[in-house]
Amino acid sequence: MKSVIDILDLSKSEIDSLIKTACDIAANPAMYADRCRGKKIATLFFEPSTRTRLSFEAAMLELGGNAIGFSEASSSSASKGESVSDTAKVITAYADIIAMRHPKEGAPLVASRSAGIPVINAGDGGHCHPTQTLADILTIYREKGRLSELTVGFCGDLKYGRTVHSLIAALSRYSGIKLVLISPDELKLPGYVKNEIIEKNGMSYRQTLSLDEAMPELDILYMTRVQRERFTDLRQYERLKDSYILTLDKLKNAKPDMSILHPLPRVNEISVKVDEDPRACYFKQVYNGKLMRMALILYLLETAKDKKREIPDYSGDGFIVNKLKCSNPRCICSEERELDQIFRATENGIYRCIYCEGKATL
């Protein structure tokens, strides 16, 4: 039985196979209409969502199954103090697969270690969002016909943008990817993504403050929202929120076949006038997300026929348990005090929390 907490939980060949299934679902939806008859997905959303929750539910309904769940923490027993682990154990009695969104980073990993059914990370704080990445990957594949030899610009909030972190990790598996990282200094990529994904995999990248300067070379422009909900200092949010606004005028310098992606929701970082431009792909991403979630549900339910969980072994050299603390206040271990605090050694001598990739402190 497999869970998907990080996009790297899926191999390149598994992603290729999901793309193939998603394209087949798009071409032959009737062939899939009964494939999950009698199955239930539980959507456990402790944080707001439109696309991810409803697309998981639509995906299961279109596969002939059913959906149960909640859309805010206040309507679950988390509001009474129930832990993520206990919630996951309880839901195992009611459903066949879980999609979980949580503001605390690492919460879906904690759930996957307790649940007796597959768990899908539907977004954990500013950390990861692997199924948005599946939507992004399918969109790039359908627009460009390939996932390699592309110059991809990421623009906006690269610090808290979990979709950015997951997509960069996925692209690290493909050849000839050049990254252009466009952000204010305050919203640059976290060190673990830059050092342990981009540099470790020898990916080509450069950082710039200027979208205008980067625009002409891009095959893909991945715009992001500056996320108010992740800031502890709202004055900083106010200062940074309008850093980049994509307009038709700015697109004059872009390639005629550049694809514009955005995980959505948008606020004002893409003018609505851009929506009519043929390069705008963000509403296609929404549809592609449903297709990939259908493919993922089918795949994970297949793996769940073998009840044995893939449990990583944290007892070896390279791991330190309960001797250090996580420095990230957004980590699930800051909320659930009885969780084992587990850190893995990285090549540059830093220990990082297995839940959120935060640095260890004493």
Catalytic residues: 51-52, 80, 101, 129
Output the six-digit token pair for 73: 């923490």
Q: Closest separation between CB of residue 164 and ligand CP, Å?
A: 12
Which range in 177-185, 206-214, 263-271, 273-281 contacts ligand CP by CB under 6 A? Answer: 263-271
123 forms part of the interface with ligand CP (CB under 6 A): yes
Beta carbon nearer to ligand CP, 222 or 343: 222
- Any residues with CB less than 8 A from the CB of 89 and at least 6 apart, and which? 114, 115, 116
Q: Closest separation between CB of residue 141 and ligand CP, Å?
A: 18
Which range in 46-54, 269-277, 309-317, 350-358 contacts ligand CP by CB under 6 A? Answer: 46-54
Out of 50, 77, 204, 361, name the contact with ligand CP by CB under 6 A: 50
Out of 117, 128, 197, 264, name the contact with ligand CP by CB under 6 A: 264
Angle at 194 between CA 320 and CA 335, to 5 degrees: 45
Out of 102, 263, 274, 304, name the contact with ligand CP by CB under 6 A: 263
Q: In what side-by-side order are the strands of the sheet with 150-155?
A: 204-208, 177-182, 150-155, 220-223, 259-261
Please tell me the distance from the alpha carbon of residue 298 to that of residue 35, in angstroms, as a whole number: 8
267 forms part of the interface with ligand CP (CB under 6 A): no
225 forms part of the interface with ligand CP (CB under 6 A): no
106 forms part of the interface with ligand CP (CB under 6 A): no
Q: Closest separation between CB of residue 55 and ligand CP, Å?
A: 8
Contact indicator for 261, 222 with CB cutoff of 8 Å: yes
Write the single-letter amino acid at 334: S
126 forms part of the interface with ligand CP (CB under 6 A): no
Which helix (DSSP H) or strand (DSSP E) does residue 13 occupy? Answer: helix 12-27
Q: Closest separation between CB of residue 49 and ligand CP, Å?
A: 3
Out of 3, 21, 43, 49, name the contact with ligand CP by CB under 6 A: 49
293 forms part of the interface with ligand CP (CB under 6 A): no
166 forms part of the interface with ligand CP (CB under 6 A): no
Token match 């623009």: residue? 155
Which range in 4-12, 219-227, 259-267, 294-302 contacts ligand CP by CB under 6 A? Answer: 259-267
183 forms part of the interface with ligand CP (CB under 6 A): no
Q: Is the bond preceding residue 29 a cis peptide, omega within 30 degrees?
A: no
Query: What's 201's DSSP letter?
Result: T
Beta carbon nearer to ligand CP, 83 or 289: 289
Out of 265, 312, 318, 329, name the contact with ligand CP by CB under 6 A: 265
Beta carbon nearer to ligand CP, 52 or 334: 52
- Any residues with CB less than 8 A from the CB of 22 and at least 6 apart, and which? 138, 288, 291, 292, 294, 295
Out of 2, 39, 51, 142, name the contact with ligand CP by CB under 6 A: 51
Out of 132, 139, 183, 227, name the contact with ligand CP by CB under 6 A: 132
- What is the size of the binding site for ligand CP (CB under 6 A)? 9
CA 336 to chain centre: 23
Contact indicator for 301, 36 with CB cutoff of 8 Å: yes
139 forms part of the interface with ligand CP (CB under 6 A): no
121 forms part of the interface with ligand CP (CB under 6 A): no
Q: In what side-by-side order are the strands of the sheet with 66-70?
A: 66-70, 40-45, 97-102, 119-124
- Which one, of 338, 343, 347, 346, lies nearest residue 356 by Cα? 343
342-345 and 97-102 strand pairing: unpaired
The count of other CB atoms within 10 Å of the CB of residue 85 is 18
Contact indicator for 261, 140 with CB cutoff of 8 Å: yes
Write the single-letter amino acid at 135: A
User: Which residues form the interface with ligand CP (CB under 6 A)?
Assistant: 49-52, 123, 132, 263-265
